[in-house]
Amino acid sequence: MSPIAAPAAASAPSAASPAARPRARRFVAALLALFALAGACGAVQAQDWSYRVRPGDTLWDLGAKHLKTGINWRRLQEHNGIADPYHLPPGTRMRFPIGWLRIQPAKARVIAVRGAVNWLASDKSPAQLVGEGLRLGIGSRLETGPGASATLEFADGSRMTVQDNSAVVFDELSSYGSTGMVDTRMRLQRGRASNRVIPARGPASRYIIQTPSATSSVRGTRFRIAAGDAGAADATEVLEGKVEVGAQRGQVLVTPGYGTLAGRGDAPSAPIALLAAPQLDPAATVLDQLPARAGWNAVPGASGYRIEVVRDDAPEVLLFEQSTADTRVRIDDLPPGRQRLLVRAVAGNGLGGHDLVQAFTVDAGPAPPLTLAPLDGQSVRVPKPRFEWAKVEGAAASRVQIARDADFAEPLLDETVRGQRWRPERALEPGSYFWRVASRDGDGRLGRFGNALPFQISDAPLDPGLQPPQSAQGKLTLRWQRGEPGQRYRVQMSRKPDFSQLLLEREADEPQIELDRPGGGTWHVRVQTIEDDGYAAPYGPAQEIRLPCRLCYAAGGTGALLLLLAL
């Protein structure tokens, strides 16, 4: 066994020497965790992987398939005491020392993404957006933003969902050839993650997550883990199986239905029973149509609740998450299909409890309509713009929302509209907005919202480009630039700049008016556009013009006056 024991013994001085240096308590805790892990690795190296011989197996074929380069099959023969290398009875067990097995990279694969998720190949690499199918290797860092999550699958089929506002670094992602044993080690630097770990297939299988204050090691379980924020303790919550949680000053074995907390420099707490699952309130729950609503009873000892929606056929794929102190939640948008609602109480110590689980189906409903106006990113110069979209077959009405953010966490306006045009009653202040629209069928089922489209409300005045007025034969003509199809115009003219006394107020279908020439002197003019639905935009800025006396008007239109008015 010396070829196995020697590497473990040789690694001991290098693992111990950094621990002898003075460091911050956090660094010491990390080193102790790594030192414990190195000891565990040494123990693993001294173990064997067991293989059941199949018909047709030969020593040289098995050696070529499983052994490292440089390890000859004859050493395998000697290790197993095989007298005849040409005859391996099927069904017998062969032992492969772990230290002899081939090790190869086994990247994690992203199988689901929600929201803005970034990854970095290394600390010095630029951040890139994560997409489904991306493979992450050793040294990669994955970061989720607000309302974002990513689900990863490892080489053995284990899955981890990294939840919103989280960051995880992958320290080891490797497999032992085709043995089925996988070594997965990572650091959850902030945030939360839920894990479903496939039962270990051999002594070298590892699934280890390190948080700032503790290290959780499992060999097949379902558990949640959180890196404490703002000085809070790290939390581990076990739902199935067992989790060994170690920290600077000790370790604890956590069984299903219990959790543990670990603060900086402290031992993990004794296992703490998780809070009971809430009970669904049927009267406050409607899940088969959007927006979905759910209510539940208050759980004694809870300081808040965490709500998640996952795919029913893949519970690790997160579709929605929210934390609240209330016992009600509203979910505006979900993809169609079979899903599960999960609601858990969160204790004052930060441990999440057992889940309320409710399966439901979201009907696809009518498709979102094509949007016509405002266009994507368009700047609109009226405070009550008109929104237009196409009619979807089978749609009886539409639902329109306007918000300041693309997530529509708090819509400013939320209206049900019959038809394909809508103008808000409330004026929008200048700034950036998003809008989206969904269709509702005759049975009241709401389909999915279309993409959130950005637009801006500009505070720049409308300028129709009023052309120079012309006077001829006792008449004065004002012309301006033509607006959008279907628009009409209202013109006011007054001696007073506040337009309190009007000489003229006239509406016109064409971008010009002709009037009897007023007296000479200073006049104030302004123009307003009127949409085809009757909406009158704010008047443009008033402009001052000076007209000559009546006797000075030129005949025949030769006395044009230069003037440019703006709406």
Q: Is 417 in contact with 400 (CB distance < 8 Å)?
A: yes
Query: What is the predicted pLDDT for the residue at 163?
Result: 94
Query: What is the predicted pLDDT for the residue at 364?
Result: 72
What residues does 470 pair with on adjacent strands?
477
Q: Is 450 in contact with 487 (CB distance < 8 Å)?
A: no
Handedness of CA 298, 294, 411, 324 (dihedral sign): positive
Query: What type of residue is 532?
Result: D
CA-wise closest residue to 454 among 375, 545, 372:
375
Query: What is the predicted pLDDT for the residue at 33?
Result: 44
Query: What is the predicted pLDDT for the residue at 296?
Result: 97
Which residues are within 8 A (CB) of 87 and not within 5 positions of it... i.e. 6 or more apart?
A: none
CA-wise closest residue to 527 among 485, 478, 492, 558:
492
Query: What is the predicted pLDDT for the residue at 170?
Result: 96
Query: What is the predicted pLDDT for the residue at 151?
Result: 95
Report angle CA 397, 307, 337 to the nearest 5 degrees: 50
Q: Which residues of the chain have pLDDT under 50?
A: 1-43, 45, 551-567
Query: What type of residue is 395?
Result: A
Please give the Cα distance from 345 to 67 (Å, whole number): 49
Query: What is the predicted pLDDT for the residue at 265?
Result: 79
What's the pTM value of the predicted model, to 2 decimals?
A: 0.64
Please give the Cα distance from 395 to 290 (Å, whole number): 15
Q: Which helix (H) or strand (E) holds 213?
A: none
**% pLDDT > 70, the chain:** 85
Query: What is the predicted pLDDT for the residue at 443?
Result: 82
Query: What is the predicted pLDDT for the residue at 461?
Result: 63
Query: What is the predicted pLDDT for the residue at 113?
Result: 94
Query: What is the predicted pLDDT for the residue at 227?
Result: 92
For the chain, list the domains and their CATH numbers: 2-100 (3.10.350.10), 105-273 (2.60.120.1440), 282-362 (2.60.40.10), 371-457 (2.60.40.10), 467-557 (2.60.40.10)
Query: What is the predicted pLDDT for the residue at 144?
Result: 95
Query: What is the predicted pLDDT for the residue at 124?
Result: 82
Query: What is the predicted pLDDT for the residue at 504?
Result: 86
Reading the block at residue 230, the tokens are 């703002």
